[in-house]
Structure 1
Amino acid sequence: MWTWFHKFGSPPWLYSIAGSILRWLVPITVILLAVGAVWGLLYAPPDFRQGNSYRIMFVHVPASVVALAGYYVMATAGAVSLIWRMKMADIALRSCAPIGAMLTFLGLLSGAVWGKPTWGTWWVWDARVTSMLVLFFLYVGIIALYEAFDNEELAGKACAVLSLVGTVNIPIIYKSVDWWYSLHQPASIKFTEDSTMDGSMLRPLLLMIVAFYCLFASSLLLYMRSEILRRESSTNWVRKLVLAKAGQGSANAV
Protein backbone atom coordinates (compact mmCIF):
# COMPACT_ATOMS: atom_id res chain seq x y z
CA MET A 1 0.00 0.00 0.00
CA TRP A 2 2.77 2.43 0.95
CA THR A 3 4.62 1.53 -2.25
CA TRP A 4 1.60 2.62 -4.29
CA PHE A 5 1.24 5.74 -2.16
CA HIS A 6 4.84 6.75 -2.84
CA LYS A 7 4.43 6.02 -6.55
CA PHE A 8 1.78 8.74 -6.69
CA GLY A 9 4.57 11.16 -5.80
CA SER A 10 6.41 10.35 -9.03
CA PRO A 11 5.46 12.71 -11.92
CA PRO A 12 6.57 10.31 -14.73
CA TRP A 13 4.72 7.35 -13.21
CA LEU A 14 1.52 9.32 -12.57
CA TYR A 15 1.62 10.87 -16.06
CA SER A 16 1.97 7.41 -17.60
CA ILE A 17 -0.69 5.67 -15.49
CA ALA A 18 -3.13 8.55 -16.02
CA GLY A 19 -2.69 8.17 -19.79
CA SER A 20 -3.37 4.43 -19.57
CA ILE A 21 -6.54 5.01 -17.54
CA LEU A 22 -7.79 7.71 -19.92
CA ARG A 23 -7.61 5.35 -22.90
CA TRP A 24 -10.60 3.42 -21.58
CA LEU A 25 -12.17 5.97 -19.21
CA VAL A 26 -12.87 8.60 -21.90
CA PRO A 27 -14.83 6.23 -24.21
CA ILE A 28 -16.78 4.88 -21.22
CA THR A 29 -17.60 8.45 -20.15
CA VAL A 30 -18.86 9.38 -23.61
CA ILE A 31 -21.03 6.25 -23.84
CA LEU A 32 -22.52 6.71 -20.36
CA LEU A 33 -23.28 10.40 -20.97
CA ALA A 34 -24.92 9.64 -24.32
CA VAL A 35 -27.03 6.74 -23.03
CA GLY A 36 -27.99 8.54 -19.82
CA ALA A 37 -28.94 11.77 -21.61
CA VAL A 38 -31.05 10.02 -24.25
CA TRP A 39 -32.70 7.79 -21.65
CA GLY A 40 -33.49 10.61 -19.25
CA LEU A 41 -34.34 13.41 -21.67
CA LEU A 42 -36.29 11.38 -24.24
CA TYR A 43 -37.56 8.14 -22.74
CA ALA A 44 -38.19 8.76 -19.03
CA PRO A 45 -41.90 9.46 -18.39
CA PRO A 46 -43.06 13.02 -17.60
CA ASP A 47 -43.62 13.93 -13.97
CA PHE A 48 -47.27 14.04 -12.89
CA ARG A 49 -46.80 17.52 -11.37
CA GLN A 50 -43.95 19.17 -13.28
CA GLY A 51 -44.52 17.59 -16.66
CA ASN A 52 -41.39 17.63 -18.84
CA SER A 53 -39.74 20.55 -17.04
CA TYR A 54 -38.30 18.15 -14.44
CA ARG A 55 -35.99 16.63 -17.09
CA ILE A 56 -33.35 19.29 -16.31
CA MET A 57 -32.88 17.14 -13.19
CA PHE A 58 -30.81 14.71 -15.27
CA VAL A 59 -28.17 17.44 -15.60
CA HIS A 60 -28.78 19.43 -12.42
CA VAL A 61 -28.57 16.60 -9.89
CA PRO A 62 -25.44 14.86 -11.29
CA ALA A 63 -23.59 18.17 -11.66
CA SER A 64 -24.44 19.19 -8.09
CA VAL A 65 -23.64 15.79 -6.56
CA VAL A 66 -20.25 15.52 -8.28
CA ALA A 67 -19.41 19.18 -7.48
CA LEU A 68 -19.80 18.34 -3.77
CA ALA A 69 -17.80 15.11 -4.06
CA GLY A 70 -15.13 16.97 -6.04
CA TYR A 71 -14.62 19.37 -3.16
CA TYR A 72 -13.90 16.46 -0.83
CA VAL A 73 -11.36 15.16 -3.35
CA MET A 74 -9.74 18.60 -3.47
CA ALA A 75 -9.70 18.94 0.33
CA THR A 76 -8.19 15.46 0.70
CA ALA A 77 -5.47 16.41 -1.78
CA GLY A 78 -4.89 19.58 0.25
CA ALA A 79 -4.48 17.57 3.45
CA VAL A 80 -2.02 15.17 1.77
CA SER A 81 -0.10 18.15 0.39
CA LEU A 82 0.19 19.77 3.82
CA ILE A 83 1.06 16.61 5.74
CA TRP A 84 3.35 14.77 3.33
CA ARG A 85 4.35 17.71 1.09
CA MET A 86 3.56 15.63 -1.96
CA LYS A 87 3.84 17.61 -5.20
CA MET A 88 1.25 15.46 -6.99
CA ALA A 89 -1.32 16.19 -4.28
CA ASP A 90 -0.83 19.91 -4.88
CA ILE A 91 -1.28 19.32 -8.61
CA ALA A 92 -4.48 17.36 -7.93
CA LEU A 93 -5.80 20.18 -5.74
CA ARG A 94 -5.10 22.79 -8.38
CA SER A 95 -6.62 20.63 -11.12
CA CYS A 96 -9.81 19.98 -9.12
CA ALA A 97 -10.63 23.67 -8.66
CA PRO A 98 -11.63 24.64 -12.23
CA ILE A 99 -13.52 21.37 -12.76
CA GLY A 100 -15.42 21.82 -9.51
CA ALA A 101 -16.17 25.45 -10.34
CA MET A 102 -17.62 24.49 -13.74
CA LEU A 103 -19.75 21.69 -12.24
CA THR A 104 -21.03 24.01 -9.50
CA PHE A 105 -21.83 26.71 -12.06
CA LEU A 106 -23.67 24.11 -14.17
CA GLY A 107 -25.61 23.02 -11.09
CA LEU A 108 -26.59 26.61 -10.27
CA LEU A 109 -27.49 27.42 -13.88
CA SER A 110 -29.58 24.28 -14.40
CA GLY A 111 -31.21 24.87 -11.02
CA ALA A 112 -32.21 28.36 -12.13
CA VAL A 113 -33.68 26.95 -15.36
CA TRP A 114 -35.60 24.36 -13.32
CA GLY A 115 -36.67 26.94 -10.72
CA LYS A 116 -38.35 29.27 -13.22
CA PRO A 117 -41.29 26.96 -14.08
CA THR A 118 -41.32 25.34 -10.62
CA TRP A 119 -40.93 28.33 -8.28
CA GLY A 120 -41.87 31.09 -10.70
CA THR A 121 -38.46 32.77 -10.44
CA TRP A 122 -34.90 32.18 -11.61
CA TRP A 123 -33.34 32.73 -8.19
CA VAL A 124 -34.27 32.69 -4.52
CA TRP A 125 -31.98 33.04 -1.51
CA ASP A 126 -32.88 29.53 -0.46
CA ALA A 127 -30.59 27.74 2.02
CA ARG A 128 -29.53 25.05 -0.47
CA VAL A 129 -29.07 27.47 -3.36
CA THR A 130 -27.12 29.98 -1.24
CA SER A 131 -24.79 27.35 0.20
CA MET A 132 -24.13 26.06 -3.33
CA LEU A 133 -23.25 29.61 -4.35
CA VAL A 134 -20.76 29.69 -1.45
CA LEU A 135 -19.26 26.46 -2.81
CA PHE A 136 -18.81 28.12 -6.21
CA PHE A 137 -17.05 31.08 -4.55
CA LEU A 138 -14.76 28.66 -2.68
CA TYR A 139 -13.72 26.97 -5.91
CA VAL A 140 -13.18 30.33 -7.63
CA GLY A 141 -11.33 31.63 -4.56
CA ILE A 142 -8.85 28.77 -4.74
CA ILE A 143 -8.26 29.43 -8.44
CA ALA A 144 -7.71 33.14 -7.71
CA LEU A 145 -5.45 32.38 -4.74
CA TYR A 146 -3.17 30.27 -6.91
CA GLU A 147 -2.87 33.13 -9.40
CA ALA A 148 -2.16 35.66 -6.64
CA PHE A 149 1.15 34.03 -5.60
CA ASP A 150 4.35 34.00 -7.61
CA ASN A 151 5.70 31.19 -5.43
CA GLU A 152 3.86 27.95 -6.30
CA GLU A 153 4.82 26.29 -3.01
CA LEU A 154 3.29 29.10 -0.93
CA ALA A 155 0.26 29.17 -3.21
CA GLY A 156 -0.23 25.44 -2.71
CA LYS A 157 -0.10 25.75 1.08
CA ALA A 158 -2.54 28.66 1.15
CA CYS A 159 -4.98 26.86 -1.14
CA ALA A 160 -4.69 23.64 0.85
CA VAL A 161 -5.65 25.49 4.03
CA LEU A 162 -8.57 27.22 2.29
CA SER A 163 -9.81 23.94 0.84
CA LEU A 164 -9.80 22.32 4.30
CA VAL A 165 -11.58 25.26 5.92
CA GLY A 166 -14.20 25.22 3.17
CA THR A 167 -15.23 21.63 3.94
CA VAL A 168 -17.52 22.96 6.71
CA ASN A 169 -19.81 24.16 3.92
CA ILE A 170 -20.39 20.68 2.46
CA PRO A 171 -22.46 19.25 5.37
CA ILE A 172 -24.42 22.51 5.38
CA ILE A 173 -25.32 21.97 1.72
CA TYR A 174 -26.38 18.38 2.35
CA LYS A 175 -28.52 19.16 5.42
CA SER A 176 -29.77 22.64 4.49
CA VAL A 177 -33.20 21.37 3.35
CA ASP A 178 -33.62 19.59 6.71
CA TRP A 179 -32.24 22.31 9.01
CA TRP A 180 -34.09 25.32 7.54
CA TYR A 181 -37.40 25.97 5.83
CA SER A 182 -36.53 25.61 2.18
CA LEU A 183 -38.24 25.86 -1.19
CA HIS A 184 -35.75 23.30 -2.46
CA GLN A 185 -37.17 19.78 -2.41
CA PRO A 186 -35.58 17.19 -0.08
CA ALA A 187 -33.25 14.54 -1.46
CA SER A 188 -35.03 12.00 -3.66
CA ILE A 189 -32.19 9.46 -3.55
CA LYS A 190 -31.85 7.99 -0.07
CA PHE A 191 -29.56 5.24 1.20
CA THR A 192 -31.30 4.49 4.51
CA GLU A 193 -34.85 4.19 3.14
CA ASP A 194 -36.75 3.75 -0.10
CA SER A 195 -36.33 6.42 -2.74
CA THR A 196 -39.29 8.72 -3.34
CA MET A 197 -38.64 8.57 -7.09
CA ASP A 198 -40.11 6.03 -9.46
CA GLY A 199 -37.65 3.52 -10.89
CA SER A 200 -38.28 4.66 -14.46
CA MET A 201 -36.81 8.05 -13.48
CA LEU A 202 -34.34 6.86 -10.87
CA ARG A 203 -32.41 4.48 -13.14
CA PRO A 204 -31.43 7.06 -15.80
CA LEU A 205 -30.62 9.55 -13.04
CA LEU A 206 -28.24 7.10 -11.35
CA LEU A 207 -26.65 6.38 -14.73
CA MET A 208 -26.11 10.10 -15.30
CA ILE A 209 -24.55 10.47 -11.84
CA VAL A 210 -22.08 7.68 -12.66
CA ALA A 211 -21.42 9.35 -16.03
CA PHE A 212 -20.66 12.67 -14.34
CA TYR A 213 -18.30 10.95 -11.89
CA CYS A 214 -16.48 9.46 -14.89
CA LEU A 215 -16.46 12.90 -16.52
CA PHE A 216 -14.94 14.41 -13.37
CA ALA A 217 -12.27 11.69 -13.20
CA SER A 218 -11.41 12.06 -16.89
CA SER A 219 -11.16 15.85 -16.64
CA LEU A 220 -9.07 15.62 -13.48
CA LEU A 221 -6.56 13.24 -15.06
CA LEU A 222 -6.32 15.41 -18.18
CA TYR A 223 -5.77 18.54 -16.09
CA MET A 224 -3.16 16.78 -13.97
CA ARG A 225 -1.25 15.52 -17.00
CA SER A 226 -1.20 19.05 -18.42
CA GLU A 227 -0.06 20.52 -15.10
CA ILE A 228 2.65 17.85 -14.71
CA LEU A 229 4.06 18.71 -18.14
CA ARG A 230 4.03 22.44 -17.30
CA ARG A 231 5.84 21.97 -13.99
CA GLU A 232 8.26 19.33 -15.26
CA SER A 233 8.98 20.99 -18.62
CA SER A 234 12.69 21.39 -17.85
CA THR A 235 13.26 17.75 -16.83
CA ASN A 236 14.87 15.08 -19.01
CA TRP A 237 11.87 12.73 -19.01
CA VAL A 238 9.60 15.44 -20.45
CA ARG A 239 12.18 16.33 -23.11
CA LYS A 240 12.42 12.67 -24.10
CA LEU A 241 8.64 12.41 -24.17
CA VAL A 242 8.34 15.45 -26.44
CA LEU A 243 11.05 14.12 -28.77
CA ALA A 244 9.38 10.70 -28.91
CA LYS A 245 6.01 12.28 -29.74
CA ALA A 246 7.63 14.47 -32.39
CA GLY A 247 9.36 11.46 -33.93
CA GLN A 248 6.12 9.50 -33.92
CA GLY A 249 4.32 12.38 -35.62
CA SER A 250 6.98 12.61 -38.32
CA ALA A 251 6.79 8.86 -38.95
CA ASN A 252 3.00 9.00 -39.26
CA ALA A 253 3.26 11.93 -41.69
CA VAL A 254 5.61 9.94 -43.91
Structure 2
Amino acid sequence: MKDRVTTPLGAVTLLLLLVAVGLGLSSPLDVNQGSLVRLMFVHVPTAWVSYLAYGGTGLFGLLYLMTRKRRWDRLAMASGELGVLFTVATIVGGMLWAKPTWGTYWVWDARLTTTALSLVVYGGYLLIRAMIDDPERRARVSAVVGIVGTLYIPINYMAVEWWRGVHQTQTLKLLGKVRFDAAPVYGWVLLAATIAFTLLYLYLLRVRGILAARDEAREERELMNDLQGDVSGLTPHIAGQGAQRGGAQHG
Protein backbone atom coordinates (compact mmCIF):
# COMPACT_ATOMS: atom_id res chain seq x y z
CA MET A 1 0.00 0.00 0.00
CA LYS A 2 1.35 3.39 -0.95
CA ASP A 3 2.17 5.69 1.95
CA ARG A 4 0.31 8.96 1.42
CA VAL A 5 1.10 10.47 4.81
CA THR A 6 4.81 10.25 5.61
CA THR A 7 6.22 12.34 2.76
CA PRO A 8 3.69 15.21 3.04
CA LEU A 9 4.12 15.20 6.81
CA GLY A 10 7.88 15.42 6.38
CA ALA A 11 7.54 18.30 3.93
CA VAL A 12 5.24 20.27 6.24
CA THR A 13 7.55 19.59 9.17
CA LEU A 14 10.59 20.83 7.26
CA LEU A 15 8.72 23.96 6.16
CA LEU A 16 7.63 24.81 9.70
CA LEU A 17 11.12 24.16 11.05
CA LEU A 18 12.52 26.63 8.51
CA VAL A 19 9.85 29.17 9.47
CA ALA A 20 10.68 28.71 13.15
CA VAL A 21 14.40 29.15 12.46
CA GLY A 22 13.71 32.32 10.49
CA LEU A 23 11.48 33.76 13.20
CA GLY A 24 13.99 32.83 15.87
CA LEU A 25 16.94 34.45 14.13
CA SER A 26 14.96 37.61 13.39
CA SER A 27 13.52 37.97 16.89
CA PRO A 28 14.75 40.93 18.95
CA LEU A 29 17.55 40.51 21.47
CA ASP A 30 16.65 40.21 25.12
CA VAL A 31 17.55 43.11 27.41
CA ASN A 32 19.36 40.85 29.88
CA GLN A 33 20.44 37.78 27.90
CA GLY A 34 20.95 39.21 24.45
CA SER A 35 21.03 36.56 21.73
CA LEU A 36 21.11 33.75 24.32
CA VAL A 37 17.35 34.05 24.62
CA ARG A 38 17.07 32.35 21.23
CA LEU A 39 18.14 29.09 22.84
CA MET A 40 14.67 29.12 24.40
CA PHE A 41 13.19 28.40 20.98
CA VAL A 42 14.96 25.04 20.97
CA HIS A 43 15.24 24.22 24.67
CA VAL A 44 11.56 24.62 25.54
CA PRO A 45 10.15 22.74 22.49
CA THR A 46 12.55 19.80 22.95
CA ALA A 47 11.56 19.58 26.62
CA TRP A 48 7.88 19.59 25.62
CA VAL A 49 8.42 16.90 23.00
CA SER A 50 10.29 14.71 25.51
CA TYR A 51 7.20 14.83 27.76
CA LEU A 52 4.99 14.11 24.75
CA ALA A 53 7.13 11.16 23.70
CA TYR A 54 7.19 9.62 27.17
CA GLY A 55 3.44 10.08 27.43
CA GLY A 56 3.12 8.41 24.04
CA THR A 57 5.13 5.44 25.29
CA GLY A 58 2.65 4.92 28.10
CA LEU A 59 -0.40 5.49 25.89
CA PHE A 60 0.76 3.13 23.15
CA GLY A 61 1.68 0.54 25.77
CA LEU A 62 -1.82 0.77 27.22
CA LEU A 63 -3.35 0.39 23.76
CA TYR A 64 -1.22 -2.71 23.21
CA LEU A 65 -2.42 -4.29 26.46
CA MET A 66 -6.02 -3.54 25.46
CA THR A 67 -5.82 -4.79 21.87
CA ARG A 68 -2.69 -7.02 21.68
CA LYS A 69 -1.89 -5.44 18.32
CA ARG A 70 1.84 -5.33 17.63
CA ARG A 71 1.51 -1.94 15.93
CA TRP A 72 1.02 -0.26 19.31
CA ASP A 73 4.07 -1.99 20.75
CA ARG A 74 6.19 -0.76 17.85
CA LEU A 75 4.95 2.79 18.37
CA ALA A 76 5.60 2.56 22.11
CA MET A 77 9.19 1.53 21.41
CA ALA A 78 9.63 4.28 18.83
CA SER A 79 8.20 6.90 21.17
CA GLY A 80 10.50 5.78 23.98
CA GLU A 81 13.52 6.09 21.71
CA LEU A 82 12.45 9.57 20.61
CA GLY A 83 11.85 10.57 24.21
CA VAL A 84 15.45 9.71 25.06
CA LEU A 85 16.66 11.56 21.95
CA PHE A 86 14.75 14.75 22.74
CA THR A 87 15.73 14.58 26.41
CA VAL A 88 19.38 14.52 25.39
CA ALA A 89 18.69 17.51 23.13
CA THR A 90 17.01 19.29 26.05
CA ILE A 91 19.97 18.66 28.34
CA VAL A 92 22.53 19.76 25.74
CA GLY A 93 20.56 22.92 24.95
CA GLY A 94 20.21 23.66 28.65
CA MET A 95 23.94 23.22 29.22
CA LEU A 96 24.75 25.63 26.39
CA TRP A 97 22.37 28.12 27.97
CA ALA A 98 23.65 27.53 31.51
CA LYS A 99 27.35 28.15 30.86
CA PRO A 100 27.11 31.89 30.04
CA THR A 101 24.26 32.57 32.49
CA TRP A 102 25.21 30.42 35.50
CA GLY A 103 28.92 30.19 34.83
CA THR A 104 28.88 26.39 34.58
CA TYR A 105 27.44 23.76 32.27
CA TRP A 106 25.80 21.76 35.03
CA VAL A 107 24.50 22.11 38.57
CA TRP A 108 22.58 19.52 40.54
CA ASP A 109 19.43 21.61 40.47
CA ALA A 110 16.11 19.81 40.98
CA ARG A 111 14.94 20.27 37.38
CA LEU A 112 18.29 19.24 35.90
CA THR A 113 18.48 16.21 38.18
CA THR A 114 14.95 15.00 37.43
CA THR A 115 15.53 15.51 33.70
CA ALA A 116 18.73 13.46 33.87
CA LEU A 117 16.90 10.76 35.83
CA SER A 118 14.28 10.55 33.09
CA LEU A 119 17.07 9.23 30.88
CA VAL A 120 17.63 6.49 33.45
CA VAL A 121 13.91 5.65 33.55
CA TYR A 122 13.44 5.39 29.80
CA GLY A 123 16.92 4.07 29.15
CA GLY A 124 15.85 1.26 31.48
CA TYR A 125 12.67 0.84 29.43
CA LEU A 126 14.72 0.37 26.26
CA LEU A 127 17.16 -1.93 28.08
CA ILE A 128 14.31 -4.15 29.25
CA ARG A 129 13.09 -4.41 25.66
CA ALA A 130 16.57 -5.42 24.52
CA MET A 131 16.91 -8.09 27.22
CA ILE A 132 13.67 -9.98 26.45
CA ASP A 133 13.73 -12.13 23.32
CA ASP A 134 10.13 -13.36 23.27
CA PRO A 135 8.13 -10.71 21.37
CA GLU A 136 4.87 -11.15 23.27
CA ARG A 137 6.48 -11.11 26.71
CA ARG A 138 8.68 -8.17 25.72
CA ALA A 139 5.64 -6.20 24.60
CA ARG A 140 3.69 -6.95 27.79
CA VAL A 141 6.49 -6.17 30.23
CA SER A 142 7.65 -3.02 28.44
CA ALA A 143 4.05 -1.78 28.18
CA VAL A 144 3.69 -1.95 31.96
CA VAL A 145 7.05 -0.23 32.47
CA GLY A 146 6.09 2.49 29.98
CA ILE A 147 2.77 3.12 31.70
CA VAL A 148 4.41 3.36 35.13
CA GLY A 149 7.10 5.62 33.66
CA THR A 150 4.52 8.24 32.70
CA LEU A 151 4.09 8.97 36.41
CA TYR A 152 7.52 10.58 36.25
CA ILE A 153 6.40 13.28 33.79
CA PRO A 154 4.53 15.48 36.32
CA ILE A 155 7.39 15.05 38.81
CA ASN A 156 9.84 16.43 36.26
CA TYR A 157 7.50 19.22 35.21
CA MET A 158 6.77 20.35 38.77
CA ALA A 159 10.34 19.99 40.06
CA VAL A 160 11.02 23.72 39.75
CA GLU A 161 7.93 24.48 41.85
CA TRP A 162 8.37 21.81 44.50
CA TRP A 163 12.13 22.18 44.94
CA ARG A 164 13.18 25.70 44.02
CA GLY A 165 16.74 26.02 42.71
CA VAL A 166 18.65 28.05 40.15
CA HIS A 167 16.47 26.90 37.25
CA GLN A 168 13.71 29.32 36.30
CA THR A 169 10.09 28.32 36.79
CA GLN A 170 8.05 26.94 33.89
CA THR A 171 8.02 29.11 30.79
CA LEU A 172 4.44 27.93 30.20
CA LYS A 173 2.49 27.33 33.39
CA LEU A 174 -0.33 24.83 32.88
CA LEU A 175 -1.54 24.43 36.46
CA GLY A 176 -3.66 27.02 38.23
CA LYS A 177 -3.88 30.14 36.09
CA VAL A 178 -2.32 29.36 32.72
CA ARG A 179 0.24 31.97 31.75
CA PHE A 180 3.29 32.45 29.55
CA ASP A 181 6.30 33.68 31.56
CA ALA A 182 8.27 35.32 28.77
CA ALA A 183 8.13 38.56 26.84
CA PRO A 184 5.05 38.61 24.54
CA VAL A 185 7.26 39.31 21.54
CA TYR A 186 8.72 35.81 21.88
CA GLY A 187 5.37 34.08 22.23
CA TRP A 188 4.65 33.57 18.54
CA VAL A 189 8.18 32.41 17.85
CA LEU A 190 8.01 29.86 20.64
CA LEU A 191 4.60 28.70 19.45
CA ALA A 192 5.88 28.17 15.90
CA ALA A 193 8.93 26.31 17.19
CA THR A 194 6.83 24.12 19.48
CA ILE A 195 4.44 23.18 16.66
CA ALA A 196 7.39 22.45 14.35
CA PHE A 197 9.10 20.20 16.90
CA THR A 198 5.83 18.44 17.66
CA LEU A 199 5.38 17.65 13.96
CA LEU A 200 9.01 16.50 13.87
CA TYR A 201 8.21 14.05 16.65
CA LEU A 202 5.15 12.75 14.78
CA TYR A 203 7.15 12.40 11.57
CA LEU A 204 10.03 10.55 13.25
CA LEU A 205 7.54 8.38 15.15
CA ARG A 206 5.87 7.34 11.92
CA VAL A 207 9.17 6.65 10.14
CA ARG A 208 10.53 4.63 13.08
CA GLY A 209 7.30 2.67 13.30
CA ILE A 210 7.47 1.81 9.60
CA LEU A 211 11.09 0.68 9.93
CA ALA A 212 10.22 -1.43 12.98
CA ALA A 213 7.36 -3.10 11.07
CA ARG A 214 9.73 -3.94 8.23
CA ASP A 215 12.25 -5.39 10.67
CA GLU A 216 9.55 -7.57 12.23
CA ALA A 217 8.39 -8.79 8.83
CA ARG A 218 11.96 -9.65 7.84
CA GLU A 219 12.56 -11.53 11.09
CA GLU A 220 9.34 -13.49 10.61
CA ARG A 221 10.37 -14.42 7.06
CA GLU A 222 13.78 -15.54 8.27
CA LEU A 223 12.16 -17.62 11.00
CA MET A 224 9.80 -19.26 8.50
CA ASN A 225 12.71 -19.99 6.16
CA ASP A 226 14.64 -21.59 9.02
CA LEU A 227 11.64 -23.73 9.97
CA GLN A 228 11.11 -24.78 6.36
CA GLY A 229 14.79 -25.64 6.08
CA ASP A 230 14.59 -27.79 9.20
CA VAL A 231 11.51 -29.59 7.87
CA SER A 232 13.17 -30.12 4.47
CA GLY A 233 16.24 -31.52 6.17
CA LEU A 234 14.19 -33.95 8.22
CA THR A 235 12.14 -35.26 5.25
CA PRO A 236 14.94 -37.28 3.54
CA HIS A 237 16.01 -38.61 6.93
CA ILE A 238 12.50 -39.80 7.74
CA ALA A 239 12.08 -41.25 4.24
CA GLY A 240 15.39 -43.10 4.60
CA GLN A 241 14.35 -44.58 7.91
CA GLY A 242 11.06 -45.70 6.36
CA ALA A 243 12.89 -47.38 3.47
CA GLN A 244 15.20 -49.18 5.88
CA ARG A 245 12.27 -50.49 7.90
CA GLY A 246 10.53 -51.60 4.70
CA GLY A 247 13.65 -53.46 3.52
CA ALA A 248 14.01 -55.17 6.87
CA GLN A 249 10.41 -56.37 6.75
CA HIS A 250 10.87 -57.83 3.24
CA GLY A 251 14.05 -59.52 4.32
**Please, what TM-score do these two structures have when normalized by structure 2?**
0.82
Contact 2:80–2:122 (Cα < 8 Å) also in 1 = yes
- Structure 1 residue aligned with 2:72: 89
- Structure 1 residue aligned with 2:225: none
Residue 130 (structure 2) pairs with residue 143 (structure 1): no
- Structure 1 residue aligned with 2:200: 215
Give the superposition deviation at 1:197. 1.8
Give the superposition deviation at 1:96. 1.1
- Structure 1 residue aligned with 2:146: 163
Unaligned runs of 5+ in 1: 1-11, 236-254
User: Where do 1:121-132 residues align within 5 Å?
Assistant: 121-132=104-115
1:39-82 superposed Cα distances (whole Å, 9 cap, x missing partner): 11x21111111111121111111101010011111101111112
- Structure 1 residue aligned with 2:98: 115
- Secondary structure at the residue paired with 1:75? helix
User: Where do 1:1-254 residues align within 5 Å?
Assistant: 19-40=3-24, 42-190=25-173, 192-233=177-218, 234=220
Bigger Rg over Cα: 2
- Secondary structure at the residue paired with 1:232? helix
- Structure 2 residue aligned with 1:247: none
1:98-143 superposed Cα distances (whole Å, 9 cap, x missing partner): 2111100000011011011111111111111111111122222222
Contact 2:122–2:149 (Cα < 8 Å) also in 1 = no
- Residues of 1 paired with 2:217 and 2:15: CA distance? 33
Give the superposition deviation at 1:225. 0.6
Q: Determine what percentage of the aligned residue pairs are the same residue.
A: 30
- Residues of 1 paired with 2:78 and 2:52: CA distance? 14
- Secondary structure at the residue paired with 1:124? coil
Unaligned runs of 5+ in 2: 222-251
Q: Which amino acid aligns with 2:48?
A: V
- Secondary structure at the residue paired with 2:115? helix
Q: Which amino acid aligns with 1:205?
A: L
Give the superposition deviation at 1:195. 2.2
- Secondary structure at the residue paired with 2:121? helix
Q: Which amino acid aligns with 1:29?
A: T
Runs of 4+ in 1 over 3 A off after TM superposition: 190-194
- Residues of 2 paired with 1:26 and 1:131: CA distance? 32
Query: Bigger shift: 22-31 or 136-145?
Result: 136-145
Give the superposition deviation at 1:86. 1.8
